Amino acid sequence: QVQLAESGGGSVQAGGSLKLSCAASGYTYSRVCLGWFRQAPGKEREGVAGIPTRGGRAYYADSVRGRATISQDNAKNTVYLEMNSLVAEDTAIYYCAASYSLLCGSWSLYNSWGQGTQVTVSS
């Protein structure tokens, strides 16, 4: 069974940066997409970034492109999300997710989820 565990959330000042980590286990690491989603209060969950664990291009939502970087450490089975120039609108619960589709920019195809980690951006 796929297991995803996020860490690294917390409170950040506007204009600051964050780095989230997701430890993945329970499946063939090199044959999936791993991604990050977020859900702000009162809003639907949205895809933020995705990357194929076998290597290749990363995908980003328009709302974070240029401010976010998704990366991975295959030796640790871990994927990271770094974001800078944070604004209040980045406040959300951030979820790690997995997809076996290998269409890493197709957010609707992610179907395994971590428990989420809260990120709060304050001004």
pLDDT at 76 over 70: yes
Average pLDDT of the chain, as a whole number: 94
The residues, ordered by sequence, that sit 6+ positions from 44 with a Cβ below 8 Å of its Cβ are: none
Q: How far apart are CA 58 and CA 55, in angstroms?
A: 9
Q: 26 — phi, psi (to 5°)?
A: 95, 10
Give the per-residue pLDDT at 16.
Answer: 97
pLDDT at 8 over 70: yes
Return the percentage of the chain with pLDDT > 70, whole number: 98
Give the per-residue pLDDT at 22.
Answer: 97
DSSP state, residue 48: E
Band the pLDDT of 29: cuts 50, 70, 90.
Answer: low
Give the per-residue pLDDT at 26.
Answer: 84
What's the mean pLDDT in 52-78? Answer: 94
What's the mean pLDDT in 45-71? Answer: 96
25 C-beta neighbours (distance < 10 Å), count? 12
pLDDT tens for 87-111 read: 999 999 999 999 998 899 999 999 9
Give the per-residue pLDDT at 105.
Answer: 96
Q: How far is CA 22 from the centre of its chain?
A: 8
Token pair, residue 101, equals: 């589709």
What's the mean pLDDT in 48-65? Answer: 95
